[in-house]
Amino acid sequence: MNRLFIEFRDPLLGIIVFFVLVFVITLVSYWWGRYKRKEDSRYLSHFMNMFKTMPTQDELKTLLQTNSISMQSALIMAQTYDSHGDYEKCIEIYLIMIEMQSDVVEKKETLYLLGKTYFKAGFLERAQEIFLQILKQFPRTPKALHYLLIIYEKMHQFEKALEVLEPLEELGVNVTKEHVYLQTVSIIRSAEYNVQEKGAALVALYEKHHLLSYLIFEYLFRTQPSLAWKSLDLSEAERIGDILWNAREAEANLDIISSSRFLRELYSAKGSVMLAQESSMFEFDVLIKLNMADQVGATLQFDYLCNSCKQIYPFAFHRCPNCHHIDTVVTEMLLTKAHVEENNSLQ
Ligand SMILES: [Zn+2]
């Protein structure tokens, strides 16, 4: 017994035992780490595959029923597909979620998301059915009413769109602008009135509300330039700068142009008349100086900013495609190289 203790007290044996223990622990740690890394990588690739290959309808149902993925994960998956423009897969997931949901409020939220996706994908009639289904059970849902209004507008069912404004107003939403907008668009698209009647109705609407200058003057300058010049609201000239820049030269009213600094600078920049020597607006100033030096080679092009969501588009809009607000378009000028030499003289 004593001999054994003596051997244990042997410092050489102690060192050997210590190094053996260190070696064993290191080996175990290494293999455990390797195993964990493999497991993690397998889980990650499985998770990624869920996004690459869409589970079938039955597989997804099973995954939700067995709680393998939560409703929250299914929602994230649907929204990922939605943000990538894969509306078909997104719709499939929402439909399964709706089938599985028992809570009416949760089901309403998923129905709303489904309606929005149908709307984005261009399935207006299906989106309309979904929003009507929500409103049947929950009539006081402004966001569903709002989408229904836009759907009717896109389908040119202006009477129905105007009807949607009533419940929205009852819910405390200010619908004045929407009301004037729907009236304006329905006049422009009407088959009952001729161009002159439409022009007179639009001028009357503008004089009453002073809204939708871009929409109304775009139509007037396109169809009845003399009425447009006669009714032009000079305070809105900058906002419709692109329309005035592209207005037919022969119709331009020199008296009105002379009465507004913005118009004097715009038409001097264009080279039609020389009523300004300089401008506080950089683009106009450059073009005026070029015209004075008889240098042609630059012109203007326009971008369109939504004053509400700040999105920029290369085309003009009346209802922002992104935030759906109306009358928020702001025209932005850009100097660009002129490709075709034009004769811009008013004389
Ligand atoms: Zn916007």
Structure confidence by residue, pLDDT tens digits, 112-158 = 999 999 999 999 999 999 999 999 999 999 999 999 999 999 999 99
In terms of residue numbers, what domain contains 14?
2-45
CA of 251 to the centre of ligand 1 (A): 33
Q: Which residues surround ligand 1, an ion (CB under 5 A)?
A: 306, 308-309, 320, 322-323
pLDDT value of position 316: 95
CA of 330 to the centre of ligand 1 (A): 11
CA of 305 to the centre of ligand 1 (A): 8
Residue 83 lies in a domain: yes
Name 303's bridge partners. Answer: 332
pLDDT value of position 345: 46
Q: What percent of the chain clears pLDDT 70, i.e. is strictly above it?
A: 90
pLDDT value of position 43: 62
Q: Positive or negative CA dihedral for 13, 18, 22, 25?
A: positive
Q: Please state, rounded to an integer, the average pLDDT across all residues of the chain.
A: 88
Distance of CA 196 to the CA centre of its chain: 35
CA of 322 to the centre of ligand 1 (A): 5
Query: Do 24 and 59 sit in the same domain of this protein?
Result: no
Residue 225 lies in a domain: no
| Overall number of domains in the chain | 2
Residue 330 has pLDDT above 50, yes or no: yes
26, HSE (Cβ side, Cα atoms, 13 Å): 6
Residue 329 lies in a domain: no
CA of 311 to the centre of ligand 1 (A): 6
Residue 23 lies in a domain: yes
Residue 88 lies in a domain: yes
CA of 122 to the centre of ligand 1 (A): 19
> Average pLDDT of 326-339?
91
Give the model's confidence band at 49: pLDDT under 50 very low, under 70 low, under 90 confident, else very high.
Answer: low
Asked if residue 305 lies in contact with residue 332, where contact means CB atoms within 8 angstroms, the answer is: yes
Residue 40 lies in a domain: yes
Q: pLDDT tens, 77-91?
A: 899 999 999 999 899
Q: How many angstroms separate the CA atoms of 275 and 296, rounded?
A: 18
Per-residue tokens: 116 = 């929005």
> Average pLDDT of 258-284?
92
pTM of the model: 0.76
Which domain-ending residue is among 80, 100, 120? Answer: 100
Residue 119 lies in a domain: no
CA of 163 to the centre of ligand 1 (A): 24
